[in-house]
Amino acid sequence: MPPKVKFSKEAIIGTALQLVREEGMASLTARALAEKLGATPRVIFGQFANMSELQAEVIGAAEMVVVEYIRKALEDKKPFRSVGVAYILFASKEPQLFQLLFQNPSKDPIRRFQDFLPMKDHSYQLVLDSIV
């Protein structure tokens, strides 16, 4: 009997993030993700207790995508302006992720951005410095 194909937690999260990028968070079901992985839903539940746990991981991965846009913008000579442009680019290139992170009433919104960015990006001080 051939060995079972195993999927790492990271591989499942990556595939789930791609599914959300393409079709939105509402499309992230065990069945749809398993189909995209070429497996059965059992593979997903071998790594995650439930879909809520997986969704939380996908949201974290989506947050890291926007943080990467910001990190790159902070390297510019005019970082404050570039961060604003980075948000526009993020919204344009990643509409499903933008909606998930910033327009999703079912997720706790990022109410105080100054609390969000330092948690995700050590370059927060550069944003503050660019304002002055």
- CATH assignment at residue 38: 1.10.357.10
In a domain, 2, yes or no: no
What Å distances lie between residue 56 and 11, 21, 59, 110, CA to CA? 15, 15, 5, 15
In a domain, 52, yes or no: yes
pLDDT of residue 116 exceeding 50: yes
- Mean pLDDT (whole number) for 52-74: 92
In a domain, 1, yes or no: no
| Rounded percentage of the chain residues whose pLDDT exceeds 70 | 75
Stretch (H or E) spanning 114: helix 113-120
Name which of 39-43, 45-49, 109-113, 128-132 the model is least confident about.
Answer: 109-113
pLDDT of residue 110 exceeding 60: no
Between residues 128 and 112, which one has the greater pLDDT? Answer: 128
| Domains contained in the chain, number | 1
In a domain, 31, yes or no: yes
In a domain, 4, yes or no: no
